[in-house]
Amino acid sequence: MNIDYNETIPNNVGLADDRRLLRALERWQPAYLQWWNDVGPVETSDFEVYLRTAISVDANGWAHYGHLRMPEYRWGIFLTPPEENRQIAFGQHKGEPVWNDVPGEYRTELRRLIVTQGDTEPASVEQQRDLGRTCPSLYDLRNLFQVNVEEGRHLWAMVYLLHAHFGRDGREEADEMLERHAGDPDKPRILEAFNESTDDWLSFFMFTYFQDRDGKFQLAALAESGFDPLSRTCRFMLTEEAHHMFVGESGIMRVVKRTCELMREHDSEDVRPHGGIDLGTIQKFINFHYSICLDLFGSERSTNAANYYSMGLKGRYQETKIDDDHVLTDAHVIVPRVEGDHIATEEMAALPAMNLKLREDFAMDSQRGLNRFNKAIREYGLDVELTLPDPAFNRNIGIFRDINATPEGRLISDDEWQTRKYDWLPSPDDYAFVRSLMVPVIEPGKMAGWISPPKRGIHGKPIDYDYVLFH
């Protein structure tokens, strides 16, 4: 087979001359395309979508716009160019030169980190595969597909690391990424939040707001890695992840604004009869997505997390900007603890609490967007505030797993939880209502009634641009 790999797979890793990578990709690429066709976006192979493609890592190359069919998207492999003389910034190898090859002693741990991260990328594509049928506008449909192809590229990025650095095991793991599927009872995705379905657009915006923000923090922590290829890969991925969060935050903002408009117009909180999504329902969706995303960070006390840090494999968010010794063997932190009927605190060693640290950074970042939503609500003269639920609320992992708590963090009984959970989480009726609004709008420039138009279009194009061409 004579394929110009540098053309079909844009890259800055010297792919065409790398026998090991070529051998791995010859098998994996067809399997990936098959996967895209089988469980990627439903019935979209003919659509021409106005997409951004990264064709190089320089300023001109990373955002190349044009209409194209998604299966022909050029999924590329990019690493941010190496930093000269970069040193490991934390853990017991602090100050040593970064590794360009996998250290044998950490092979298993690195592989597990890469596989866990990689598994989330195709999962979200699978979770969102039906959304194209109910888009609120062409603009949003294009954004969905942009997110999808980039999640696909992020899978490529992780698979590249597996193929390039982990030999036969890496190739097997790369194959498994295409064999596990979101919500598949037999071969589910590794992390639970990536097995939930995303079948309405409010969920999609929440997903890109919360789950992709988890992605941002995970990638940021991996970008600190002493294993330089992982660090450089993640740094490049972060530029794309930012766009996904933009889709989420602007999406929720537009829904909130539309709701506020309807509230003012009809002087009522109940905007459902007028085709809007009431703020109460939006709050419930926030409660659900935020709480399952906290689970993604793992247990507050984690041996793996401690090891990853000490080994120099996964750092903290913005590690180098933190003012401490970056070794932390003698550091302590305060962690929550369930004590009878209330939540107290205790001191524990900082290393095993790494997950909690990253989770708290995520929480602060999540709150920033909510502040902007609340500012917008106030601008409509309304006295309502959207909030993040307490970390004890609706948890399946970690110290709050076995207790029930209200969004305010008050511990309650099983009975009370059963009776009241749909006061706080979307009920089947809420989902049914939101789904009832999901009617496709594909006329350029038109918006569904439950969402306001965006401020501006993509890449200088007008809002009523033909972002997706159907054939």
Partner 1 sequence: MIEFSTHPDHYKHWQLSIDDRVATLALDVREDGGIEPGYDLKLNSYDLGVDIELYDAVQRLRFEHPDVGAVIITSAKDRVFCAGANISMLAQSAHGAKVNFCKFTNETRNGIEDASAHSGQRYLCVINGTAAGGGYELALATDHIILVDDGASAVSLPEVPLLAVLPGTGGLTRVVDKRHVRRDRADFFCTTGEGMRGKRALEWDLVDELAPRSRLTEAAGTRAAALAAQTDRPTGAQGISLTPLQRDIGDGEIAYRHVTVTFDRAGRTATFRLRGPDGPPPQDAAAIHAEGDRFWPLAFARELDDAILHLRFNEPELGTWILTTSGDGDHVAAADSALLANGSDWLAREITLYFKRTLKRLDVSSRSLIALIEPGSCFTGSLLELALAADRSYMLDGAFEGSNVAPATVRPTAMNFGPLPMCNGLTRLESRFLNDSSKVAEIEAETGNDLDAKAAEELGLVTFIPDDIDWEDEVRIAIEARASFSPDALTAMEANLRFAGPETIESKIFARLTAWQNWVFQRPNAVGEGGALKLYGTGKQPDFDRKRV
Q: Give contact residues for partner 1 (rule: CB under 8 A).
A: 92, 108-109, 111-112, 172, 176, 179-180, 185-188, 190, 303, 305-307, 309-311, 328-329, 349, 351-352, 354, 402
Cβ proximity to partner 1, 252 vs 328, nearer residue: 328
Cβ proximity to partner 1, 67 vs 94, nearer residue: 94
What distance in Å separates the CA atoms of residue 119 and residue 194, rounded to the nearest whole number?
Answer: 9
| 174, 161 contact by CB (below 8 A) | no
Give the nearest distance from C-beta 349 to partner 1 in angstroms: 6
Cβ proximity to partner 1, 328 vs 468, nearer residue: 328
Give the nearest distance from C-beta 119 to partner 1 in angstroms: 9
- The first and second tokens of residue 77, run together, are 């492999």
Q: What is the DSSP letter of 132?
A: G
Cβ proximity to partner 1, 185 vs 428, nearer residue: 185
- What dihedral do alpha carbons 167, 173, 175, 180 form, nearest 10°? 180
Give the CB-side neighbour count of residue 452, counting CA atoms within 13 A: 16
Cβ proximity to partner 1, 119 vs 150, nearer residue: 119
Give the nearest distance from C-beta 316 to partner 1 in angstroms: 13
What distance in Å separates the CA atoms of residue 457 and residue 447, rounded to the nearest whole number?
Answer: 13
Give how far Cα 372 sits from Cα of 260, 322, 386, 465, Å.
14, 26, 10, 28
Give the nearest distance from C-beta 310 to partner 1 in angstroms: 5
Cβ proximity to partner 1, 111 vs 257, nearer residue: 111
Q: Give the list of residues 6+ apart from residue 378 with CB closer than 8 angstroms, or none.
A: none
The type of residue at 361 is: D
What distance in Å separates the CA atoms of residue 65 and residue 142, rounded to the nearest whole number?
Answer: 12
| 166, 20 contact by CB (below 8 A) | no
Give the nearest distance from C-beta 191 to partner 1 in angstroms: 10
Give the nearest distance from C-beta 110 to partner 1 in angstroms: 11
Cβ proximity to partner 1, 190 vs 425, nearer residue: 190
Give the nearest distance from C-beta 411 to partner 1 in angstroms: 16
Give the CB-side neighbour count of residue 359, counting CA atoms within 13 A: 25
